Chains A and B, each alone.
Chain A
Amino acid sequence: MTATPMVQIQSVCKRFGEVEVLSDIDLSVATGEVCCLIGPSGAGKSTLIRCINHLEKINTGTIEVNGHLVGYARRNGQLHELTGREAARSREDTAMVFQHFNLFPHMTVLENITEAPIHVKKESRASAEAHAHALLDRVGLAGKARAYPGELSGGQKQRVAIARALAVRPKLLLFDEPTSALDPELVSEVLEVMRDLAREGQTMIVVTHEMGFAREVADKVAFMDQGRIVEYGSADDVLVRPRLERTRDFLARVLRSHVPQA
């Protein structure tokens, strides 16, 4: 394991006004690894994943994806915040899937997927559309290219959102509670797609409340509470044999609210 990690987060702090929502976060995710962030609401999981994509600014520390700073540039020993245009370019290696899908409602499924490849990555329309059709096939929505997002179910929307994120060929894929806004019976179709991606070696960071998924798919699990990563390790270590009382309490509460496991 001498290769540089895909994501390297070092002593990151983030404040909203007086409130410190991330305190001294260190996290490293290797290429091909799936890292799940779990923890109670308000723990800072979503904020952390949004910082990795520079949707939120950080106050101190550094976040590097694929060896490049995201949203900042190092000049003369200082970190300078990038302008919107430069920041857009610095996000090149990352894509994100949101809790509320955030598909573009005025575009068809196909247009949603090809917009960034054509206009950001400057791919030809033909190759972008061929890639989009292949991705739709992969998420099980081959017939839906011409549909508008408003015509799809929540699970289908989220699968389109995953295809759209994959279309920019990201080295890192971020998921912010991808199944939290779905009806319970639609959760599995989205998790199934994510499971496939993990199997194919896609590096992913997933904020989730699906403990079964985390245990099955995650290489590493980070338990966050009050803006800190308080327990970190393999899925088995954190989810099955947690060291800390806090982690055990949280898991007990989450598992009780779900269908009891056999």
Chain B
Amino acid sequence: MTDVMDGTRAREEQEKDRKTEVIVPARYPGRWIAATIIFVLFASFAYSVATNPGYQWDVVWQYLTYRTVLAGLGWTLALTAASMFIGIVLGIVAALMRQSSNPILSVVAAGYIWLFRGAPLMVQLIFWYNLAALYPTIDIGLPFLPPLVSLSTNEVITPLVAALLGLGLNEGAYMAEIVRSGLLSVDAGQREAAQSLGMSPAHTLRRIILPQALRVIVPPTGNEVIGMLKATSLVSILAFSDLLYSVQGIYGRTFQTIPLLIVATIWYLVAATLLSLVQQYLERRYGRGHSRRAQDGMSLLMAPLSSALFRRGAGK
């Protein structure tokens, strides 16, 4: 007993001796100089933004919640959601087709990706909008037989339909590659384990392969959604009343071009910020089993918010 006590006391004395040495962190004067220069540049820019009358901040505030602007924002968000939905469904189908051992399916999928990824989006949008020039009517029926239903192309292809076709088909080609990389990232042993437990191929895909593939698929898909949010502004050339088209309509009349473009930019940034929070939530959701933190629903939802606000590094 006493031996142990003596040992402890001796160690404590050693600790005391050690505490006299103080460690001074290294100094980096260069960092201070760089930070000062950047701060001065930023402050002068902020000053000019606040004082330059050309920005017309009063006009920005006036139109920020204007009805046609908000309606345009609504259409932009709806178009983003609908086009991404079409793109993701097409992407999954095309990715599965590419992996198929049926050569016709895999070649058709490769051809689809090649065409719609390679052609400029603007060209695709204009092409769909002018489809009537190629096919004046859309006939539904059996191939090589008289049609059962015949519709005028110009009536079917409204700006909305052309926008969905253009954006959705283009997005599907990109999503196909993202989904394929996700499917390839899942170890072959996972499929074998599922098979050996008697799971059908469809069940294996839905419950075992896709959830794991999503961990790889979600981050680039988040990029795609934000890219899509901005790509929808291209449909303003089809006279579709999205966010950009609605502010163009206003500055076309009032010539307040800069403040109205700022209005549109603010809304695009707000939407992009919210979407990236959703992305962080999904990344944590599908990262389950790869991070050791406790993850109930609420902390999953709050984590991206708190990490965005406080930068506490809530990652893995």
Contacts and interface: CB of A to CB of B under 8 A. Distances in A.
Interface of A: 53, 55, 84-85, 87-89, 91-92, 94-96, 98, 100, 102-108, 115-116, 119-121, 148-151, 164-165, 168, 174
Given A94-B196, A150-B289, A151-B292, A88 B190 contact: no
Interface in B278-304: 286, 288-290, 292
Given A55-B192, A107-B289, A119-B203, A95 B197 contact: yes
B7 interface: no
A107 B215 CA distance: 13
Interface stretch (B132-140, B166-174, B206-214): B206-214
Contacts of A107: 289
Interface centre among A92, A102, A150 (most CB of B within 10 A): A102
A143 to B, nearest CB: 16
A168 B197 contact: yes
A105 to B, nearest CB: 4
Contact of B200 (A88, A105, A106, A164): A88
B30 interface: no
A168 B290 CA distance: 26
B231 interface: no
Given A85-B200, A88-B201, A102 B288 contact: no
11 contacts: A85-B200, A91-B196, A104-B190, A104-B208, A105-B212, A106-B286, A115-B197, A120-B199, A148-B288, A168-B197, A168-B198
Given A102-B189, A119-B203, A149 B289 contact: yes
Contacts of B211: 106
Contacts of A55: 192, 195-196
B78 interface: no
B187 interface: yes
4 A-B pairs with least C-beta separation:
A102-B193, A116-B197, A84-B201, A96-B196
Given A98-B192, A102-B189, A104-B190, A150 B292 contact: yes
Contact of B203 (A94, A103, A120): A120
B122 to A, nearest CB: 40
A104 B196 CA distance: 13
B194 to A, nearest CB: 8
Given A100-B189, A106-B212, A116 B292 contact: no
Given A106-B288, A107-B289, A119-B203, A98 B198 contact: no
A227 B190 CA distance: 26
